[in-house]
Amino acid sequence: MESHVQLYQFDVTKCAVQLGIPDTIQRHGKPMSLAELEAAICINQEKTQSLGQLMRVLTQSGFFEKKFIIKSNDKEVGYALTKAGQLLVRENPLAVTPFMLAILDQDAQKPWHYLSNWFQNRDRSAFQTAHGKTVWELANNMPKFNDYFNEAMASDSRLVATYLFDYSEEGNLGKALFEGLNSLVDVGGGTGTMTKAIADACPWLNCICFDLPHVVAGLQGTKNLTYIGGNMFEAIPQGDAILLKWILHDWNDEECVKILKQCKEAIMNSDKGGRVIIIDIVIGHQTEDYKSLETQLLFDLQVMVWARGKQRDETEWYKLFLNAGFNQYKIISKLGVRSIIEIY
């Protein structure tokens, strides 16, 4: 029963975002009554009662809170954003809305209904069973899904970059991470949101955003940012460091070893003590509570369903590193359920 309620909460939150409720209240700058909210988001007048039911659930979920509005000596209930609700505002650099919309898109949800079928067939992933294509093939052929996917990855990169360069406990974890390097290759960097954030924060660093040719086609670089198309299984541009943010969890162990061996080749000629920097989940590593571990395990299922990938614990990561020719690693657990892994 609890899991069903959680699913309904996700759908209700998605509805609120699509109606623009968080953005509307944010722009209003103060609590909004139900009547004001109804007029601002332009819903059918017959749905006023239903909007009240929606806001009641969203308030209970912690995204909004009730505040009294004083009008002509009368009190009226209004709704304001909580700190959690701020994460649903699209203009917030820490917004989770693009990622949520991508995960809850009907094309993204469809593979879950084929999970049992997938366990009994030879398809690579449940996503392929549902759509007849891999997630990357569908993104390449369906603009709407591709836009959702790219926006989700870009929003996640903004979240990670904001923490690395603005909010880290050390003052600036990001600059410390890239200090002493002259060049960085962001492998699977997509449209370059993360690469650009690093290039802007570290102007001494020559950055390359490396992804499939059709992903980076037509994208314009800057003084210290270049876009290069290619295939990470075949060759990776040389650099002092290689960044793999949310890449390896999409691939099985054999494929990960191939990628890491290409990374090793790319840093071999570095005179700066070449390294590979991985941003990904280390299951069970310094998880402070049950919910953190549960979130890691749910992400594990997500990549299994989408790409037959997997999240790994520290022992599994270490085995990959050894098989790819690396013998030293360091884990920095400063990104919530994710970690930064440096391998040498």
The CA-atom distances, in angstroms, between 326 and each of 170, 190, 274, 276, 281 are: 27, 26, 11, 10, 19
Q: Any idea of the CA torsion for 216, 218, 221, 226, to the nearest 10 degrees?
A: 40
In the set 28, 113, 214, 249, the catalytic residue is: 249
Q: Where are the alpha helices (DSSP H) in 77-190?
A: 83-86, 97-104, 106-109, 115-119, 126-131, 135-141, 143-162, 173-178
Closest CA to 152 of 91, 215, 94, 96: 96
Find, among 210, 191, 200, the residue nearest to 151 by Cα. Answer: 191
- Residue 93 CA, distance from chain mean position: 13
Q: Tokens 């941003």 identify what position? A: 279
Q: How many CB atoms lie within 10 A of CB 339?
A: 20
Token pair of 237 as six digits: 């541009």
Identity of the residue numbered 343: I
Q: From the DSSP assignment, how many helices (H) and strands (E) are in the chain?
A: 17, 12
**Among 125, 128, 63, 146, residue whose Cα is nearest residue 303:** 125
Distance CA 201, CA 166 (A): 10
Catalytic annotation on 249?
yes
Burial of 66-80, coded b for 16+ CB within 10 Å and e otherwise, reads: eeebeeeeeeeebbb
Length of the chain: 344
Catalytic residue IDs: 249
